[in-house]
Structure 1
């Protein structure tokens, strides 16, 4: 059974159709929950390899897990192409999110979201304060930091 914080995070992300999870590691619970709700999720991590690199399609949405470095993606000439997502209506990324995002990856994550014209939301390791400007949203058992809101949906 999912924790209250995981359920609350999935509910907070539910308004976005296409999402990018940064630093997924082998914890794909939030991504899988979003896919089960009909969302398309690309999840990246520097430690992903082997079977985690395959595409998975569920009845409702899709999950693509890829090897990727948020710093390199933020600096890429075309981050959307590097992620294998298109541009234009009905394509691309609506929101970039991360769970337990360490301080040193917060700025590149926000930079990547900005380049993708996507919202950016994250939780921290708990003992760290955000190092980027954010709005705080209290969720059960955690705080969700909103570093960037998109322009097409209400925050």
Structure 2
């Protein structure tokens, strides 16, 4: 479903050559739109979910990945992102992103505060995008 929020997220993420969505759940629209825009996209979740053929799916838990010496090939991308990412996944995803040298961007459900130090970006459609940063 094309929404102003999804269009803004795709516009923000599409400059990356490769991306992995953490916890895709039942809403692969952004991942599919990124793939349509030419981004190589992988989606992960802890349970099997259906994603469009243009999106690779890997069943994995980012919490487990954050504890492995090698998080996994599917995290070797330019961007890790999460949409409506729950607070308990902020730190593990950030840890994986730092381990593989990827950028990490995420949204929350709106009432959750980030659990890692972040800057914010306001996107069209009223979405707030969180951009983790190292503590100064």
Residues 70 and 108 of structure 1 are in contact (CA less than 8 Å); yes or no, is this contact kept in structure 2?
yes
Normalized against structure 2, the TM-score is what? 0.90
d(CA) in 1 for partners of 2:38 and 2:133? 23
On the 8 A contact 1:42/1:66 being kept in 2, the answer is: yes
Structure 2 unaligned blocks of 5 or more = none
Paired position in structure 2 for 1:95: 79
1:78 paired residue among 70, 73, 77: 70
Alpha carbon RMSD of aligned pairs, Å? 1.9
Q: Does the alignment pair 1:122 with 2:109?
A: no
Q: Could you say if the C-alpha distance between residues 95 and 148 of structure 1 is closer, same or farther in structure 2, counting changes exceeding 3 Å?
A: farther
Task: Check if 1:68 corresponds to 2:52.
Answer: no
Which runs of 5 or more residues in structure 1 are unaligned? 58-62, 86-91, 150-155
The list of structure 1 runs, each at least 4 consecutive aligned residues, that deviate by more than 2 angstroms after superposition, is: none
2:53 to 36, 51, 56: 56
